[in-house]
């Protein structure tokens, strides 16, 4: 590994981390503003231009709040849980390619922090680790409502991870590889996967809503039933960590969705690789726009649909999405065999 | 046993839910671009309708003297017992023979029912459109005669919120209210 590679990797790490944190901040604002607009309100628009500095004010508020540790809490677990949620949420962005490879001198720098050969599995694994944080937070708080929230998180995880994993299998079968580089290269050659795997895309979309605990599947924090779910007993910065990681997970899930089904940084009918610097800029822009759309979709869905009941969620996960995902895998298999024979 | 009466029997196509989902999304999306109901308060103020019952005022007659004759009808009518009046013989020769030397209203007790206005035989006490007065101490919210007369000066030329929204600079300076 040369000095250049290390420098490039460092720059990319800082860039991805910084942009992710910035996007989280913007998302907390966008959530409030968009929800307000949908309800004929204006939302926070006083701090900075159009309320742009509101997230900073919110962050400052979190910093200055009293940090309470309940006496009934299991201290080590209680303190560890927000970290377990936060760290994987920020780690997952590492394998997402956010632009076409950039040519600097004689070096070709892929715009991706790490091109793991099991990139897809890496994300699936880390997002599941994040759920452990929720369960531990629920259990470690020593309070009944967080415990219920944690239990729901684990039940939800099992019922959705299966369908989610199976919906990805269709894409992996088409591509024949688990790295994001291969998946995106395949989509560049033959068109986006959404056209070939629409059912898988739909199942995946529904599953990531459940995965990130967003409405209509936010049963783990259903405030009307569970006060606030797993983060009821958390305050100050520890609560902020849960809050931030929820948005970090949304960003990762959107980027995951875009990479798997919407061509990643690919712009249709344009050869970014042949266009040099402008092609790279265009590809990054395309990626940002696509991810931005899905982030907006998250907010949009949240303020449109009511929460699922617990049994409805289970039924949807086990009796609808899982069989559909299996059917999709089988159909994809038949299609591949048929195409190989033809 | 109760029977459920359904007005709409779900069709098979309804069981896919996706068209309904898309319709729902469209509904909320369109609303983003509608006119907003929020009034950005300190910049623009809500203008109450005529007849709004807010802060009281004591009216003045054509010579600028207080109309009140300290008959204490409002004090008697007040269900919240928030009005305190001390009457005295009027210092002027013509006109009414009595006037109040003290006229206090405890705004924290007032329920803004408007009975004082109805009870008044001289149309001396009236409720105005002013709603945004607040203070840090309870003492500040006991308005005296001087304050009530100042409220008259401020509000006698039309709805103050309408005037403020039109750019006129009006401060409700009633001193210690």
Query: Residue A41 in 3-state DSSP?
Result: coil
Tokens 């926070």, residue? A44
Measured CA to CA, the distance from residue A54 to residue A36 in angstroms comes to 14
Q: Is A312 on the interface with B (CB under 8 A)?
A: no
Q: Which of A30, A32, A37, A41 would best serve as a mutation to test chain B binding (most B beta carbons within 10 A)?
A: A37
Nearest CA of chain A to the CA of B90: how many Å?
53
Q: What is the band of A327 on the pLDDT scale with cuts at 50, 70, 90?
A: very high
Of B29, B36, B38, the CB nearest to A300: B29
> Cβ(A166)–Cβ(A329) under 8 Å?
yes
- Lateral strand order in the sheet of B142-143: B83-89, B98-106, B142-143
Domain positions in chain A: 3-341
pLDDT in tens, chain B (177 residues): 778 888 887 777 777 788 888 898 998 999 888 888 888 888 888 888 888 998 888 998 888 888 888 888 999 999 999 999 999 998 888 878 888 999 999 988 999 999 999 999 988 999 988 888 888 888 888 888 888 888 888 888 888 888 888 877 777 665 544
To the nearest 5 percent, what fractions of chain A are helix, strand and coil?
Answer: 75, 5, 25
More confident residue, A273 or B35: B35
Measured CA to CA, the distance from residue B9 to residue B148 in angstroms comes to 65
- For chain A, give the mean pLDDT: 85
Of the options 3.40.50.1000, 3.40.50.300, 3.40.50.970, 3.30.70.3270, the CATH number for the domain spanning B56-165: 3.30.70.3270
- Tell me the pLDDT tens digit for each residue of A194-224: 888 888 899 999 888 888 888 788 877 777 7
- DSSP per residue, chain B: ---PPPSSPPPTGGGG-HHHHHHHHHHHHHHTTSPP----TTTS---PPTT---SEEE-B-TTS-B------HHHHH-TT--EEEEEEE-SSSSS-SEEEEEEEEETTT-----HHHHH-SSS-EEE-S------SSSGGGEE-HHHHHHHHHHHTTS-HHHHHHTT-------S--
Query: Residue A199 in 3-state DSSP?
Result: helix
pLDDT value of residue B177: 47
Nearest CA of chain B to the CA of A33: how many Å?
10
Mapping DSSP onto H, E and C, the string for A78-130 reads: HHHHHHHHHHHHHHHHHHCCCEEEEEECCEEEEECCCCCCCHHHHHHHHHHHH
Q: Is B15 on the interface with A (CB under 8 A)?
A: no
Give chain A's end-to-end CA distance (angstroms, integer).
45
Of A37, A40, A305, the CB nearest to B24: A305
User: Using the 8-state DSSP alphabet, how is residue A319 labeled?
Assistant: I
- Tell me the pLDDT tens digit for each residue of A43-92: 888 888 888 888 888 888 888 888 888 888 888 888 888 888 888 888 88
What is the dihedral angle through the alpha carbons of A270, A271, A276, A279, rounded to the nearest 10 degrees?
30
Measured CA to CA, the distance from residue B122 to residue A303 in angstroms comes to 55
CB contact under 8 A, A301 and B25: yes
What is the ipTM, given to two decimal places? 0.76
Domain positions in chain B: 56-165
CB contact under 8 A, A40 and B37: yes
Supply A255's token pair.
């980027």
pLDDT value of residue B119: 92
Strands B98-106 and B125-127: unpaired
Most confident option among A27-31, A141-145, A146-150, A212-216: A27-31
Q: Is A304 on the interface with B (CB under 8 A)?
A: yes
pLDDT value of residue A131: 83
């Amino acid at each position: 590994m040369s000095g250049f590679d290390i420098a490039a990797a460092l720059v990319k790490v800082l860039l991805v981390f910084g942009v992710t944190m910035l996007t989280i901040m913007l998302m907390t604002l966008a959530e409030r503003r968009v929800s307000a607009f949908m309800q004929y309100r204006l939302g926070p628009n006083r701090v900075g231009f159009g309320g742009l500095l509101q997230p900073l004010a919110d962050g400052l508020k979190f910093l200055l709040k009293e940090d309470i540790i309940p006496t009934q809490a299991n201290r080590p677990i209680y303190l560890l849980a927000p970290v377990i949620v936060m760290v994987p949420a920020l780690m997952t962005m590492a394998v997402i390619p956010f632009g076409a490879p950039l040519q600097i001198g004689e070096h070709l720098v892929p715009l991706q922090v790490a091109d793991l050969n099991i990139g897809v599995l890496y994300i699936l694994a880390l997002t599941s680790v994040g759920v452990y944080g929720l369960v531990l937070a629920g259990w470690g708080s020593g309070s009944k409502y967080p415990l219920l929230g944690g239990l729901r998180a684990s039940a939800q995880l099992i019922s959705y991870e299966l369908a989610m994993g199976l919906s990805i299998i269709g894409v992996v079968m088409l591509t024949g590889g688990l790295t994001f580089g291969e998946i995106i290269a395949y989509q560049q050659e033959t068109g986006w996967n959404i056209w070939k795997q629409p059912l898988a895309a739909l199942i995946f979309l529904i599953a990531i809503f459940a995965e990130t605990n967003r409405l209509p599947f936010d049963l783990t924090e259903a405030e009307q039933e569970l006060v606030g779910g797993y983060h009821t007993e958390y305050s100050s910065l520890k609560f902020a960590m849960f809050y931030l990681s929820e948005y970090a997970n949304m960003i990762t899930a959107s980027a995951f969705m875009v990479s798997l089904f919407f061509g990643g940084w690919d712009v249709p009918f344009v050869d970014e690789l042949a266009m040099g610097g402008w092609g790279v800029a265009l590809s990054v822009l395309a990626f940002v726009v696509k991810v931005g759309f899905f982030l907006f979709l998250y907010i949009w869905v949240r303020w449109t649909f009511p929460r699922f009941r617990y049994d409805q969620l289970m039924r949807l996960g086990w009796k609808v999405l899982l069989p559909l995902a299996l059917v999709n895998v089988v159909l994809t298999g038949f299609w591949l065999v048929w195409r190989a024979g033809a | 046993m109760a029977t459920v009466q359904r007005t709409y029997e779900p069709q098979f196509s309804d069981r896919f839910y996706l068209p309904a989902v898309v319709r729902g999304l469209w509904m909320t999306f369109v609303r983003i671009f509608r006119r907003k109901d929020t009034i950005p308060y300190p910049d623009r103020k809500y203008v109450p309708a005529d007849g709004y019952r807010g802060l009281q005022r004591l009216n003045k007659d054509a010579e600028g003297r207080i109309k009140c004759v300290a008959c204490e009808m409002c004090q008697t009518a007040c269900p919240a017992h928030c009005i305190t009046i001390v009457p005295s013989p009027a210092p002027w020769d013509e006109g009414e023979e009595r006037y109040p030397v003290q006229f206090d209203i405890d705004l924290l007790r007032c329920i803004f029912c408007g009975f004082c206005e109805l009870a008044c035989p001289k149309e001396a006490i009236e409720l105005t459109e002013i709603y945004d007065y607040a203070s840090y101490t309870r003492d500040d919210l006991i308005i005296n005669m001087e304050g009530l007369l100042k409220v008259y000066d401020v509000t006698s030329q039309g709805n103050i919120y309408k005037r403020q929204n039109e750019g006129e600079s009006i401060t409700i300076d009633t001193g210690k209210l």
